[in-house]
Amino acid sequence: MSNKGMFIEKFRKNSGFFRSFVMRRPVWCSWQLTDKCNFRCKFCSVWQKELNSEQMSLEEIRQGARKIAQIGPMMISMTGGEPLMREDLPQIISAMDEHHFSFISTNGSLVTRERARDIVKAGLWGVGVSLDYASAEKHDENRGFPGAYERALRALEIFRSEQVNGRPQVNLMFTLLKDNLGDLDEIARMTRDIGCTFRVQAYSNLKTHDNSMQYPEPVSQKLLELHEKYPHFVTNRVVLEKFDQAISKGVPGCIAGKYMINIDPRGFVAKCPEDQANPVGHVLLDDNATLLKRLKEKHQQNRCQNCWYNCRNELEVSYSMRGMWHGKKRMSNL
């Protein structure tokens, strides 16, 4: 594509996304490409349940991406399971990039330089690599996979070195658990040395129904102190301010079904990743107007406040003036 063509394409997607944001249409889509996973994480049950043994083909995903683009360009967060278990991931990202902004969440174990280069070349906008502890022993034990720690760090380094014009954004994704707050200082130093950013989200019992892994004490003040200390800690300040509420009684006003949607490996659409058992339709079989109407109804009925995941909180606070201002300020300081 020529430079002029690239500029026009970028303008089209950016303006379309802004229009959807202003018009309060869905702008975030969590898309599980597969339920297959090579890890056995303690705080996730996807690998135990094997919810969806079937998964959409590349052509079906291409059709689905094109279809929801009629609603407007979205940030498409491709997850799993482990998305890199799909050999056709570069082709999937390329299909998404025609209409949307593509991101992946990965445990990092399957990242090689060759695969990372193919994924970046396909148009990847952002990648989040999960790391829970600054200790290899603890992280490997929590993830049920020997070598998980070293592979996660290697993946961050590879993606960072393969960036082209600042893309993809490279983030370490840290889930606050009962015993890992003390690791955040070291995590911050590690990511600073690599040259990537890091984000923090709260643990939720929605996947495991296990409350024992929840951080037990007020934590917002400590997180805000770290936020001031480390400019590459890019979680929105307003998100951090609400952590105490999130881990004690929950944050009301979930945006699922209104600003964010979920597509499972088979193509069924639900309001969020934790509500896959109650789909409102299928991305290929139902028209967009019907899907949006049903998602709106789900949103209006939604009283859940049991998560403070990044897929919810970062988008949710961006609809407030303070959240928008702090987000812009933090990114401009990098």
pLDDT in tens, 132-168: 999 999 999 999 999 999 999 999 999 999 999 999 9
pLDDT at 237: 97
CA neighbor of 240 nearest in space, from 184, 116, 323: 323
Q: Which two tokens stand for residue 287?
A: 């028209």
Please list the residues that pair with 262 across neighbouring strands. Answer: 30, 270
Q: Is 6 exposed, middle or buried (0-12, 13-18, 19+ CB in 10 A)?
A: exposed
Split at pLDDT 50, 70, 90, the class of 210 is confident
Split at pLDDT 50, 70, 90, the class of 9 is confident
pLDDT at 321: 87
pLDDT tens per residue, range 217-251? 999 999 999 999 999 999 999 999 999 999 999 99
For residue 256, is pLDDT > 90? yes
pLDDT at 123: 96
Please list the residues that pair with 197 across neighbouring strands. Answer: 171
pLDDT tens per residue, range 270-322? 999 999 999 999 999 999 999 999 999 999 999 999 999 999 999 999 998 88
pTM, entire model:
0.94
Distance, in Å, from the CA atom of 268 to the CA atom of 255, rounded to the nearest integer, reads 19
pLDDT at 98: 94
pLDDT at 75: 97
Mean pLDDT of 68-76: 96
> In the structure, how many helices (H) and strands (E) does the chain have?
14, 9
Can you say whether the dihedral through the CA atoms of 101, 102, 103, 108 is positive or negative?
negative
> Could you give the number of structural domains in the chain?
1
For residue 1, is pLDDT > 80? no
Distance, in Å, from the CA atom of 220 to the CA atom of 215, rounded to the nearest integer, reads 11
For residue 44, is pLDDT > 90? no
| Residue 83, domain CATH | 3.20.20.70
Q: Is 182 exposed, middle or buried (0-12, 13-18, 19+ CB in 10 A)?
A: exposed
Domain, as residue range, for 281: 3-332
For residue 2, is pLDDT > 60? no
Q: Is 321 exposed, middle or buried (0-12, 13-18, 19+ CB in 10 A)?
A: exposed
Split at pLDDT 50, 70, 90, the class of 125 is very high
